[in-house]
Amino acid sequence: MSKKRILICNRGEIAIRVAKAIRELGHIAVGFYTDNELEASHLEYCHEWVHLVGSGNTETYLNIEQILNVIKEHKIDAVHPGYGFLSENTKFSKALEDAGVTFIGPHAEAIHKMGDKAISKQMAKDAGVPVVPGSTGEIDSPEEAATIAKDIGYPVLLKAVAGGGGKGMRICHSEEELSKNFEAVRREAQSSFGNPGVLVEKFIVNPHHIEVQILADTKGNIYHCYERECSVQRRHQKIIEEAPSPFIGDDEKLRNNICQTAIKLAQAVNYNSAGTVEFIMGEDKSFYFLEMNTRIQVEHPITEEITGIDLLANMIKGALGEDFDFKSQDEISIRGHAVECRICAEDPVTMLPAPGQIKGFEFTFPQGIRFDHCIYNGLEVKSDFDPMIGKLIGAGHNRNVVIRKMRCAIESLMIEGIKTNTQLHEVILHEESFVSGHYTTNYIAEIEPQSKVEDRVSDEEVIKRILSYEYSMLMDN
């Protein structure tokens, strides 16, 4: 196939990862820079740079009209959206389709149906996929929500129809809490997603967040790449993921059941790209459909590590009508274990964003560690963007080996000048419940690893390490 000019509509570590895949496949990677990020780290991995005029995300990465003009002017053949921004925007996907440009993601109808929680839940039910008991569509009033809650039993979860990333969600343990939170969720839903629609569902106590990676081509073939456990979360947002799930363990019957269920849903919407079907699993190992993310996930590297499947490369190949690197489901198997720690510019105790300038960056990782990041010495971490600046991924023969490697890696990672959550990860990687694999989505609230974070390195030692790092940089130059 001839070289394609592929535009990366994203930034940060995922833009770097996409650019690497584009180059590997022999195509031309085109990247954006904005007035707010003139020296974006992903640009050195791209063949060409294009100026996206503006500073804020609304003016740049979310500006469909400007991006379409860039696509036309620079004769772009295909667009990879990464995750976030326009990756699950039906209007953008349809606009590319109308312009004859390949969207490296699913077709617009799949994005629409899976992006609407009410529609996706009904589709799942129609396909025979188990769903969490609750409303089948939007609810209009707290009284209607209370009627449903009385039928399915408390606690219940109020959540935005168009939600994601943990926004627009409230747990309610009584009718009083339900009434109190209803309008608050509607306001948050409108503010975050432009849609005030709300659902009510049964809240599963002590749940596990299990998701299945799907990879489908444009020829009707749909495969799974097994599951990931994403139960270590704060504010419904993941911070540590691992594959395969320690909760499922060696229960291959359950593993096959949940993976085939994910394929069943993907078939129902004629899915044709990389995607993730998310489930909530109870203590009794019964599982229910939550949502489908119609894009590549932040945590895709751990699936790549245990299967050997390059998800980004195959996602691009599939969108361009090429065959995948494998020919059947039988060629995809689990080998060993992998864990990912999201490295964020956050206070390790409050877990709130902590932007600033990185003044020192150094690491000495053990064998088996992968670090997908956009960090460099002098990087200005801005409040405009997500606080995640990297993903530390460890792979090994089994879970115990990987935890050992990850402990060594997180202790050797030095990022100075800003607060990061590395100390929080260090605590979790030594904490008994996590090490044993016996944890749920309540982990942060119940175990409170953030309360065990300590300043392990004195101010004098920090200064010493920074000076040592800067001296080594001068010597290298």
Q: Is 377 helix (H, G, I), strand (E, B) or coil?
A: coil
- How does residue 456 score in pLDDT terms, banded at 50, 70 and 90? very low
Of the two residues 137 and 466, the one the predictor is more confident about is 137
Q: Is 97 helix (H, G, I), strand (E, B) or coil?
A: helix
Mean pLDDT of 49-66: 95
Residue 187 designated active-site: no
The confidence score (pLDDT) of residue 64 equals: 97
Residue 57 has pLDDT above 90, yes or no: yes
- State both tokens at 4: 């394609």
Q: Longest C-alpha distance within the chain, in Å?
A: 71
Burial of 215 (0-12, 13-18, 19+ CB in 10 A): buried
The number of CA neighbours under 13 Å toward the Cβ of 96 is 29
Angular region, 168: left φ>0, alpha ψ -120 to 50, beta rest: left
Mean pLDDT of 229-251: 96
Domain definitions of the chain by residue range: 5-104, 133-202, 208-459
Q: In 203-259, at which residue ranges do the beta strands (DSSP E only) sit?
A: 208-216, 222-234, 237-243
Tokens 């363990």 belong to which residue? 249
Mean pLDDT of 190-200: 89
Identify the CATH assignment for 5-104 out of 3.40.50.20, 3.30.420.40, 3.40.50.150, 3.30.70.100.
Answer: 3.40.50.20
Residue 476 has pLDDT above 50, yes or no: no
The confidence score (pLDDT) of residue 136 equals: 77
Residue 461 has pLDDT above 60, yes or no: no
The confidence score (pLDDT) of residue 359 equals: 97
The confidence score (pLDDT) of residue 165 equals: 65
- How does residue 464 score in pLDDT terms, banded at 50, 70 and 90? very low
Of 295, 342, 370, 399, which residue is the catalytic one?
295
Alpha carbon 364 to its chain centroid, in Å, reads 26
Mean pLDDT of 94-98: 97
The confidence score (pLDDT) of residue 460 equals: 46
Residue 402 has pLDDT above 90, yes or no: yes
Measuring CA to CA, which residue among 287, 190, 192, 195 is closest to residue 247? 287
Residue 472 has pLDDT above 90, yes or no: no
The confidence score (pLDDT) of residue 6 equals: 98
- How does residue 119 score in pLDDT terms, banded at 50, 70 and 90? very high
Residue 477 has pLDDT above 60, yes or no: no
Of the two residues 121 and 426, the one the predictor is more confident about is 426
The number of CA neighbours under 13 Å toward the Cβ of 468 is 9
The C-alpha atoms of residue 68 and residue 62 are separated, in whole angstroms, by 11
The confidence score (pLDDT) of residue 376 equals: 95
pLDDT digits over 285-321, tens only? 999 999 999 999 999 999 999 999 999 999 999 999 9
Least confident of 113-117, 298-302, 368-372: 113-117
Mean pLDDT of 278-283: 95
Using a pLDDT cut of 90, give the percent of the chain over it.
87
**CATH code for the structural domain at 208-459:** 3.30.470.20
State whether CATH 3.40.50.1110 applies to domain 133-202. Answer: no
Cβ 356 vs Cβ 40: under 8 Å: no
- How does residue 372 score in pLDDT terms, banded at 50, 70 and 90? very high
Residue 370 has pLDDT above 70, yes or no: yes
Amino acid symbol at 270: N
Least confident of 57-71, 134-148, 205-219, 243-257: 134-148
Q: Helices 12-24 and 311-319 sit at what angle, rounded to 10 degrees?
A: 60
Using a pLDDT cut of 70, give the percent of the chain over it.
95
Other CB atoms within 10 A of residue 453 CB: 18
Average pLDDT, the chain: 93
Residue 474 has pLDDT above 60, yes or no: no
The confidence score (pLDDT) of residue 330 equals: 98
Other CB atoms within 10 A of residue 90 CB: 18
Residue 459 has pLDDT above 90, yes or no: no
